[in-house]
């Protein structure tokens, strides 16, 4: 069984040109082509609606249409059919323009033989087929991307909902202005899904736990890992466990759980974390560090800013070593203290020359604004980093959580 005949619609009002073209095609096998000839654009459009053609041979100068308007009218209504423009020597520039606007090829009348004409039509058909397939793939990709973006947007909403929606008061039930501890949080993910996470929760009527962590990377994997940490925390802060009051013990158990999960998943990820317990009754901070930047302790009574745990060696990041053990450290807490925990996206912003903002500048900026309330301090620090980088958006997730001590017992 031979190849299916190529169905050609010839749109040509010059009868001599039409006869020449038909005879040229008939020089080969007669069943290779099926030619339908019309003389007007309107008739051509009607034929194209009535039946399918593989290719259109189109003269641009017709009784009812001339020049580029001829091609544009036909192409706008039958863009899936490949068009080969027929042109004279004096109109080749117009044919080139038509090719730029969607015609697959053009041939000059009187300067083609059967081989050239057949090749032009076959190439036109193949190019159009590839063009249609590419357009279909692009449409499918857009649809998948839209669905993926919708899923990511939903995941972002869920991730943001996992952050504290309101903060506890100490003792419970008092108005925030009367609480011994007050809190403020700020989170600016660099991507739809970020890898930073923080939480604040009561451990007793006079003790608060504050966790901040930073997952390597961004996107879905980082977002899933923050959800895992949230799930592990929910279990470990339960009163029956008695783990959350000891920061080193809590990070040790989170690390153990994460390494088991990551090992089963066959992937390598790590999380830096800092966990702080504020004990109002004892006037004491207890903390443990898993490879995380040192928080800042603003002593407003002394007008000083220092790094929490700078003299202690931090443990490794979570998720790397299953047998890692994290140590608990402690230091006094007095009224007027402000502890600011943050992720490295805050101080690793780059300036125009590639210089990093750095922890030293962050310390100096905090010293300059230490009399501001915590929300104002956060805004001032973000403004300074943005001014340094000359960028509105951060390249990495930025997370900050502050805790102010109004009084101790």
- Measure the CA–CA gap between 407 and 403, rounded to whole angstroms: 12
Q: Facing residues of 65 across strands?
A: 62
For the chain, give every residue range classified as CATH 3.60.40.10.
163-405
Pairing between strand 105-108 and 181-188? unpaired
Mean pLDDT, the chain, rounded, equals 89
Q: What is the average per-residue pLDDT within 82-94?
A: 84
**At CB < 8 A and 24+ separation, what contacts does 37-46 make?**
37/10, 37/12, 38/9, 38/10, 38/11, 39/11, 39/12, 39/13, 39/63, 40/11, 40/13, 40/64, 41/11, 41/65, 41/70, 41/73, 41/74, 44/9, 44/11, 44/74, 45/73, 45/74, 45/77, 45/78
With residues binned 3-state (H G I as helix, E B as strand, rest as coil), the percentages for the chain, rounded to 5, are 40, 25, 35
pLDDT over 70 (residue 1): no
HSE-up of residue 237 (Cα within 13 Å, Cβ side): 19
Give the pLDDT mean for 88-104. 84
Q: Evaluate whether 276 touches 318 at the Cβ level (below 8 Å).
A: no
Q: What confidence tens digit (pLDDT) does each residue in 256-282 have? A: 988 888 887 777 778 999 999 999 999
Q: Which residues of the chain does CATH 3.40.50.2300 include?
A: 6-135
User: With bands split at pLDDT 50, 70 and 90, how would you rate the model's confidence at 240?
Assistant: low
pLDDT at 246 exceeding the cut of 90: yes
Per-residue confidence at 311, pLDDT binned at 50, 70, 90? Answer: confident
| pLDDT band at residue 89 using 50, 70 and 90 as cut-offs | low
**Mean pLDDT, residues 46-72 taken together:** 93
Q: What tokens were used for 405? A: 């001590």
Per this entry, what is the length of the chain? 409
Work out the average pLDDT over 241-254: 91
pLDDT of 38 strictly over 50: yes
29 has a pLDDT exceeding 80:
no
- Calculate mean pLDDT across residues 336-359: 93
Condensed to tens digits (0 to 9), the pLDDT of residues 199-229 reads 999 999 999 999 999 988 776 777 778 888 8
Give the right CATH number for 163-405 from 3.60.40.10, 1.25.40.10, 3.40.50.1110, 2.60.120.200: 3.60.40.10
Give the CATH architecture of domain 6-135.
3-Layer(aba) Sandwich (3.40)
Q: pLDDT (tens digit, 9 = 90+) per residue, 102-160? A: 889 888 887 888 888 889 899 989 988 888 888 888 888 888 888 877 877 777 777 77
Percent of the chain with pLDDT over 70: 97
d(CA 274, CA 341): 8
């Amino acid at each position: 069984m031979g190849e299916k005949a190529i169905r050609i619609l010839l749109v040509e009002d010059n009868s001599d040109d039409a006869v020449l073209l038909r005879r040229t095609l008939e020089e080969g096998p007669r069943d290779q082509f099926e030619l339908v000839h019309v003389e007007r654009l309107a008739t051509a459009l009607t034929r194209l609606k009535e039946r399918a053609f593989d290719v259109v041979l189109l003269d641009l100068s017709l009784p009812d249409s001339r020049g580029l308007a001829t091609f544009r009218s036909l192409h706008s209504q039958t863009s899936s059919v490949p068009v080969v423009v027929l042109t004279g020597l004096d109109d080749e520039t117009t044919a080139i323009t038509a090719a730029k606007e969607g015609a697959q090829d053009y041939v000059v009348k009187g300067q083609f033989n059967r081989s050239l004409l057949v090749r032009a039509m076959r190439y036109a058909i193949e190019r159009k087929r590839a063009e249609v397939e590419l357009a279909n793939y692009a449409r499918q990709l857009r649809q998948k991307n839209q669905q993926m973006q919708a899923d990511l947007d939903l995941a972002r909403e869920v991730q943001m909902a996992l952050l504290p929606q309101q903060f506890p008061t100490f003792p419970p039930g008092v108005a925030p202005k009367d609480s011994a501890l007050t809190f403020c949080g700020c989170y600016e993910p660099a991507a739809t899904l970020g890898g930073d996470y923080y939480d604040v929760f009561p451990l007793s009527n006079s003790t608060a736990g504050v966790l901040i962590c930073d997952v390597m990377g961004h996107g879905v994997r980082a977002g899933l890992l923050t959800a895992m940490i949230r799930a592990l925390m929910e279990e470990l802060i339960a009163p029956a466990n008695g783990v959350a009051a000891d920061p080193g013990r809590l990070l040790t158990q989170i690390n153990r759980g994460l390494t088991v999960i990551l090992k089963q998943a066959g992937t390598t990820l790590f999380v830096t974390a800092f966990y702080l317990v504020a004990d109002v009754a004892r006037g004491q901070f207890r903390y443990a560090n898993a490879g995380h930047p040192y928080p800042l302790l603003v002593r407003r009574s002394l007008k000083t800013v220092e790094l929490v745990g700078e003299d202690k060696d931090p443990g490794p990041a979570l998720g790397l070593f299953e047998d890692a053990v994290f140590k608990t450290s402690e230091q006094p807490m007095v009224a007027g203290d402000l502890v600011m925990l943050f992720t490295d996206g805050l101080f690793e912003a780059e300036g125009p020359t590639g210089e990093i903002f750095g922890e030293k500048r962050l310390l100096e900026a905090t010293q300059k604004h230490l009399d501001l309330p915590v929300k104002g301090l956060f805004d001032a620090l973000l403004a300074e980093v943005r001014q340094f980088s000359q960028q509105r958006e951060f390249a990495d997730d930025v997370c900050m959580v502050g805790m102010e001590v109004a009084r101790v017992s």
